[in-house]
Amino acid sequence: MTSYFAIPILLFLFQNVSAQYSEAFSRNVIWPLAAGALRDDPQKCIESGTGDGKLRRKIELQCDILNETCSAYTAVSDSRMAIILSWRGSVGAYEIEMEALDILFGQQLTFPGGAKVADFFYNAFLKLWNAGIKDDFFTLQQKYPDYEIWVTGHSLGGAMAGLCAGYLKQMGFADPSKIRLITYGEPRTGDAQYSTLLNSLPYSYRVVHDNDWIPHVPFKNENYLHHGIEIYYPNNMTLGLPYTICVGNEDKSCSSGAPLFRLNFRDHTLYFGIELDNYLSRECKY
């Protein structure tokens, strides 16, 4: 375990900055894009994160198991040279009952390449992908071949974002060096082979706020393993507080080591020091 403060000066001097987790990029650019998937119209959040970004399309449809909708949107930012794919797992994902969560993880499907992943998330991902995210992605990629591909999501949407990034690599749809994946409060989504796949991406981060309980599910984690690189904030995530760049898939000095009695719902919706609902009503501005 190594702790860095918000402005990692040494990293800046000695390492390839583009491949490193950047607190400012995550807080100010990607988090608004992830949160935006929870709004009926993500456009203001896209602007908050990128300045000039434009929503291309938002798709919302019934997820298979939950009686709620899942959603994803595509967007593009010329100033950032980025194609954006942002995922939302379900409307009230953070209010889901424990019993429903068990259903989400009960069965696994085979991912391209052989990894096993939770069927609920994979089916929801494929449904949205085939309903138009795929078409948008290929159109944008053809139009902007040099752009990076930013993939993100919060909560169950984080699981779908991870699947999207893994899918793009595994299907050969994108140059892995162009993919930037950051998820927030993501549950475990697949098996050890799936972790290996996501860990093979040059830019793959899984942000966890302190005692957020969702990264601990499924609790009975047979055949589920987190992926790296976890970025753990053992505090309220207000600007300037330190975070940990964790080691391995389930670093015990990070989220995996948080005692069960401390886990709570509140930390799941309190990212970067502001309640998600509040942040959304402020159009993704701090």
**Catalytic machinery residues:** 155, 212, 268
- The DSSP output letter for 133 is I
Q: Which stretch binds ligand NAG (CB under 6 A): 72-80, 85-93, 230-238, 257-265?
A: 230-238
Q: Strand, helix or coil at 46?
A: helix
Q: Which stretch binds ligand NAG (CB under 6 A): 1-9, 32-40, 63-71, 221-229?
A: 63-71
User: Which residues, listed in sequence order, are joined to residue 73 by a DSSP beta bridge?
Assistant: 58, 86
Shortest spacing between CB 6 and ligand NAG, in angstroms: 13
Shortest spacing between CB 127 and ligand NAG, in angstroms: 17
Q: Is 235 in the site for ligand NAG (CB under 6 A)?
A: yes
Q: Is 200 in the site for ligand NAG (CB under 6 A)?
A: no
State how far the Cα of 228 lies from the Cα of 201, in Å rounded to an integer.
10
Single-letter amino acid code for the residue at 58: K
Q: Is 130 in the site for ligand NAG (CB under 6 A)?
A: no
Q: Which stretch binds ligand NAG (CB under 6 A): 15-23, 36-44, 61-69, 191-199?
A: 61-69
Given 28, 170, 236, 253, the residue binding ligand NAG (CB under 6 A):
236
Cβ–Cβ < 8 Å for 167, 130: no
Shortest spacing between CB 130 and ligand NAG, in angstroms: 23
From first CA to last CA, the distance across the chain in angstroms is 29
Lay out the site mask for ligand NAG across 19-58 (x = CB under 6 A, - = otherwise).
----------------------------------------
Residue 127 main-chain phi, psi, to 5 deg = -60, -45
Given 100, 109, 192, 225, the residue binding ligand NAG (CB under 6 A):
100
Residues that contact ligand NAG, how many (by CB under 6 A): 8
Find where tokens 């502001």 sit: 274
- The DSSP output letter for 172 is T
Q: Is 107 in the site for ligand NAG (CB under 6 A)?
A: no
Cα distances from 3 to residues 7, 18, 183, 248, 254, in angstroms, run: 11, 19, 20, 15, 11
Shortest spacing between CB 238 and ligand NAG, in angstroms: 5
Q: Is 67 in the site for ligand NAG (CB under 6 A)?
A: yes
- The DSSP output letter for 256 is G
Q: Decide the pairing of beta strands 148-154 and 116-118.
A: unpaired
Q: For residues 143 and 266, which CB has a smaller minimum distance to ligand NAG in the complex?
A: 266
Q: Strand, helix or coil at 132?
A: helix
Given 238, 264, 278, 281, the residue binding ligand NAG (CB under 6 A):
238
Cβ–Cβ < 8 Å for 195, 226: yes
Residue numbers of the site for ligand NAG (CB under 6 A)? 65-67, 100, 103, 235-236, 238
